[in-house]
Structure 1
Amino acid sequence: MTTSAAVPSAPPRLVATDLDGTLLRSDGTLSKRTAAALAAAEAAGIRLALVTGRPPRSLPSLHSGIGRHFAITANGAAVYAPDGRAVRLSPFRAASVAPLMARVRATVPGVSFAFEYETVFGHEPAYPAWSYGESAVDLIGTAEELLARNPERPVFKILAHHPTLPLHDFHDRARSSAGADAETTHSTGLALVEFSAPGVTKATALTAWSAQLGILPDDIAAFGDMPNDLPMLRAVGRPYAMANADPEVKKAARHHTASNDEDGVARVLEHFVELARTARAPL
């Protein structure tokens, strides 16, 4: 483990971690060392939360691949207890989606859209197949057609793709056109921009839940690697950037650890567990 600031002498009460590029290895697997570190942290009384841009429909695969933990999905739009029960849902207002897309289309010609619902995925024909994942149940049509088919179906995340624009240029133009009507970010390194409802981020979902538990931000450690992790890292007392993180994330995080392929999260968790054992040891 490496860090750019002094390491606290007591463990956090809560650890929140991104998944892809952070907790999981580059091949999408959970290493044995990381699995053991997660179990040891929970046994030591440290709460765990998986905080991801992955959609709500990914919950079964998260349970089978990582374990039943508290899960904040879709960049904060849908929050689930370990038993799979939804405890906080923050979709777009139905009337706001079509005007938002119209502005983005006008600003970024050639864009295609996809929608993440709670259990279903819908996309336009031009939206790239490689981004679906999770054995999605696909609804295919223009965005306007998909919205018209079931106008009451809540949209938790809007994804946008452009075939030629560099990601940062695409993101800047999309964010400008969305304005205050959406939270705009990107996370995969692919040419995808992600929109959530106004005020919905990993940070808002995490801090709302932790406040219900009586846990202050200073008692939370968080791990991330991409720009959609920035709100969360800025909101907690112990932010950690992975060695493989985006440069902006490395700059924002006070602490740093090894890469996701080098069990960076596990290394810090092991240290937290040792701090917890020391704190319980008799004088």
Structure 2
Amino acid sequence: MELINNVKAIVLDLDGTLLNSKKEVSERNKKAILTAHKQGIVVIFATARPPRSVKDFLPHELQDIATMVYYNGALIVNKVLDYRQHYPIDSAITSEIIEFVITYQADACLSVESEDTWYSNKTLDYKKAMNTDVNPTVISLNELKKINASKLLISQYSHHEKLQKQFEHKVNTICTDAGTLTQIMAKGVSKEQAIREICIQNNIPMGDVMVFGDDWNDLELFYACGFPIAMGNAIPELKDTAYFITDTNDEDGVAQVLEKLTCTVNNS
């Protein structure tokens, strides 16, 4: 990677990127991020996860210095600036999508996230399907349809392409986790749009943003930012778009790049 000195913000995905396979942030990665922050670089974490989940994985030292993007961009929070923006799916659209899903696959594993609360209409063990240690609150299907959802989740769904085509003008739909998880956000909601909003607030050009990622929900952001960094474990589409490919999330790939970056800043 060539030395660069005009990075003004870094955006970090969590799963498969900053977090290792044990769902931990290594000391090396934490130190590299804190060093970047001390040198004036804006730190942003952008994840598909809800706030409660991020609190379990991300060290408090990092949470305290960063702007947080949750639900792939549906919720943006900066506690220092007392800033909070939520972009939910209207309940009428939530209802339409749920009806469509159960029409094609009645046994679909479907749940709704709404501002850090998780709901489902079935009592299931979501721990493996959703890569979490907790299960959602079970409510009736009719109650589920009335929620203004931060994000809709469908696991092991066989009709992702039909769903995406049917609702492409109403919501933003992506398929992640090797095709096993369909994630649905409000139309216009994405990590990219959230980062654009944050950069406008901080007067930072997108060309001066470095982003780290590994999966489909990072792809638009890779196209939009000046310095997209693909993890060694990233999908091929991200690697093809990347400015640089670093080592995997189990090899401190994030820290390897940031250590070079902060050295560049020091020498500029």
Q: TM above 0.5, one fold? A: yes
Q: Work out the CA distance in 2 between the residues paired with 1:125 and 1:132.
A: 17
Match of 2:141 in 1: 143
Q: Tell me if structure 2 keeps the 8 A contact 1:112–1:126.
A: no
Output the amino acid matched with 2:78. Answer: A
Q: Tell me if structure 2 keeps the 8 A contact 1:22–1:260.
A: yes
Q: Tell me if structure 2 keeps the 8 A contact 1:10–1:272.
A: yes
The answer as to 2:63 corresponding to 1:67 is yes
The answer as to 2:5 corresponding to 1:10 is yes
Q: Work out the CA distance in 2 between the residues paired with 1:31 and 1:128.
A: 29
Correspondent of 1:199 among 163, 166, 188: 188
Output the amino acid matched with 1:172. Answer: E
Q: Work out the CA distance in 1 between the residues paired with 2:185 and 2:176.
A: 13
Q: How far off its partner does 1:205 sit?
A: 0.5
Match of 1:159 in 2: 153
Secondary structure of 2:10's counterpart equals strand
Identity fraction in percent? 27
Q: Work out the CA distance in 2 between the residues paired with 1:246 and 1:128.
A: 28
Q: Which runs of 5+ in 1 are unaligned?
A: none
Match of 2:251 in 1: 262
Q: Tell me if structure 2 keeps the 8 A contact 1:104–1:177.
A: no
Match of 1:96 in 2: 93
Bigger mean CA deviation after superposition, 172-181 or 225-234? 172-181
Alignment map for 1:77-156 (pairs within 5 Å) = 77-83=74-80, 85-125=82-122, 128-130=125-127, 131=130, 133=132, 135=134, 138-147=136-145, 151=146, 153-156=147-150
Bigger mean CA deviation after superposition, 61-70 or 92-101? 61-70
Q: How far off its partner does 1:11 sit?
A: 3.9
Q: Tell me if structure 1 keeps the 8 A contact 2:3–2:261.
A: no
Q: How far off its partner does 1:173 sit?
A: 3.1
Q: 1:225 to 1:141 in 2, by over 3 A?
A: same
Q: How far off its partner does 1:123 sit?
A: 1.1
Q: Work out the CA distance in 2 between the residues paired with 1:22 and 1:269.
A: 13
Q: 1:86 to 1:123 in 2, by over 3 A?
A: farther
Q: How far off its partner does 1:87 sit?
A: 1.9
Q: Work out the CA distance in 1 between the residues paired with 2:103 and 2:61.
A: 41
Structure 1 vs Structure 2 CA RMSD: 2.2
Q: Tell me if structure 1 keeps the 8 A contact 2:74–2:86.
A: yes
Bigger mean CA deviation after superposition, 75-84 or 217-226? 75-84
The answer as to 2:164 corresponding to 1:175 is yes
Q: Tell me if structure 1 keeps the 8 A contact 2:17–2:213.
A: yes
What's the TM-score, normalizing by structure 1?
0.85
The answer as to 2:53 corresponding to 1:58 is yes
Q: Tell me if structure 1 keeps the 8 A contact 2:34–2:62.
A: no
Output the amino acid matched with 2:39. Answer: A
Match of 2:208 in 1: 219
Q: How far off its partner does 1:252 sit?
A: 2.4
Q: 1:142 to 1:192 in 2, by over 3 A?
A: farther
Bigger mean CA deviation after superposition, 57-66 or 252-261? 57-66
The answer as to 2:248 corresponding to 1:250 is no
Q: Tell me if structure 2 keeps the 8 A contact 1:159–1:195.
A: yes
Match of 1:44 in 2: 39
Q: Tell me if structure 2 keeps the 8 A contact 1:13–1:215.
A: yes
Q: Work out the CA distance in 2 between the residues paired with 1:126 and 1:247.
A: 36
Q: How far off its partner does 1:272 sit?
A: 1.0
Q: Work out the CA distance in 2 between the residues paired with 1:128 and 1:173.
A: 26
Q: Cα deviation per residue 1:16-69 (whole Å; 9 max; x = unaligned)?
A: 010010011111001111011011101111111000000133343335384322
Q: Tell me if structure 2 keeps the 8 A contact 1:16–1:50.
A: yes
Q: 1:255 to 1:142 in 2, by over 3 A?
A: farther
